[in-house]
């Protein structure tokens, strides 16, 4: 148990070190104040503050496979400048079933919006839900309004950390990450035993209240791989325009990948962005080829279903 716990810590620490600080810019004073108010660390790149809120207190299995936090259980908040010096805040919070409504009330009671609540997986234990958060205001004000929800997350995490937990998955990767990157056509990052490839939708011009919504604000497509080349699992998210949804669905299903959710993350955005979550298991190169087939459908169809 002690060694298993050490390996899990290695996975989490490696993930956090990889996510924060690599290529980051100095954090502006107003965002330093946000971090201080929330008691969190974060990094500043592409004019965006990103705060990671990983649920490393959870031990999740998906279809019977124990998976690390970095496989898809890292919540976050992000802030970037919008109109009139005001900031746009977006986020994605990772919650168990009994945590959903207390956190939702903490957000709504402090003038923030909840724009989506959905699953990312089938067959996961315990059941995990993802809540999207939206707000506009001055950075210090937004920090104060979101702090009660963050405090609840901290309390949930502390409660689970104090309990006895089963061993987490190994920190050792058995994947040929270079080969996966070559198949997909994009370079990924290693977070402990998880190889994750994230691709921004730079071809989509999306703004909300004057704020540019880019990769660090959640407008991206990604695939996370875990396991070995011969026996791997893959999960992820694909950001699509309306006209891309069914071509992507066809590509995924032709490659035997399971579609587990189709939903929005934002309300009232133009163009409308649809997000699709998928899951697959098998040989890692085959999974990567399925993901690549879906990627190849992006940017080649009319953006709207009406066209």
Over residues 277-303, the pLDDT tens digits come to 999 999 999 999 999 999 999 988 777
Asked whether the beta carbons of 71 and 100 are under 8 A apart, the reply is: no
Q: Hunting for tokens 């108010």 — which residue is that?
A: 37
Pick from 209, 214, 256, 265: nearest CA to 237: 265
| Per-residue model confidence as pLDDT tens digits over 38-51 | 999 999 998 899 99
Backbone angles phi and psi of 64, in degrees to 5: 85, 0
* Collapsed DSSP state (helix, strand, coil) of residue 283: coil
Query: Rounded to the nearest 5°, which phi and psi values hold at 133?
Result: -120, 145
Does pLDDT of 214 surpass 60?
yes
Split at pLDDT 50, 70, 90, the class of 16 is very low
Domain ranges within the chain, ordered by starting residue: 2-162, 177-295
Q: Give dist(CA 121, CA 196) in Å, integer.
A: 17
Q: Would you say the pTM of this structure is higher than 0.95?
A: no
Q: Which of 141, 27, 32 is nearest to 87 (CA)?
A: 141
pLDDT of res. 161? 81
CA distance 275 to 241: 9
> Which pLDDT does position 17 carry in this prediction?
44
pLDDT at 13: 42
Count CB-CB contacts under 10 A for residue 152.
Answer: 18
Name beta bridge partners: 129: 95
């Amino acid at each position: 148990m002690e060694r298993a716990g050490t390996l899990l810590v290695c996975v989490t620490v490696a993930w956090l070190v990889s996510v924060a600080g690599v290529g980051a810019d100095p954090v502006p004073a107003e965002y330093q104040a946000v971090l201080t108010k929330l008691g969190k660390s974060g990094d500043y790149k592409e004019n965006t503050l990103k705060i990671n809120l990983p649920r490393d207190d959870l031990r999740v299995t998906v279809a019977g496979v124990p998976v690390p936090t970095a496989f898809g259980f890292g919540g976050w908040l992000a802030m970037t400048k919008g109109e009139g010096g005001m900031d746009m805040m977006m986020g994605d919070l990772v919650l168990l079933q009994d945590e959903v409504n207390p956190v939702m009330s903490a957000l709504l009671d402090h003038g923030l919006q909840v724009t989506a609540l959905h699953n990312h997986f089938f067959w996961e234990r315990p059941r995990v839900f993802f809540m999207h958060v939206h707000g506009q205001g001055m950075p210090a004000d937004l920090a104060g309004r979101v702090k009660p929800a963050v405090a609840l997350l901290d309390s949930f995490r502390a409660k689970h950390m104090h309990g006895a937990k089963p061993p987490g998955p190994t920190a050792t990767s058995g994947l040929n990450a270079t080969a996966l990157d070559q198949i997909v056509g994009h370079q990924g990052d290693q977070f402990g035993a998880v190889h994750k490839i994230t691709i921004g939708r730079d071809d989509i011009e999306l703004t909300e209240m004057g704020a540019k919504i880019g990769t660090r604000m959640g407008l991206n497509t990604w695939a996370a791989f875990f396991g070995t080349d011969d026996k791997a699992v893959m999960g992820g998210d694909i950001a699509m325009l309306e006209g891309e949804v069914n071509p992507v669905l066809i590509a995924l299903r032709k490659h035997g990948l399971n579609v587990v959710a189709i939903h929005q993350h934002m309300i009232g955005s133009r163009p409308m962005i649809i997000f699709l979550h998928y899951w697959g298991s098998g040989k890692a190169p085959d999974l990567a080829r399925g993901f690549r087939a879906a990627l190849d459908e992006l940017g080649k169809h009319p953006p709207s279903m009406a066209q």
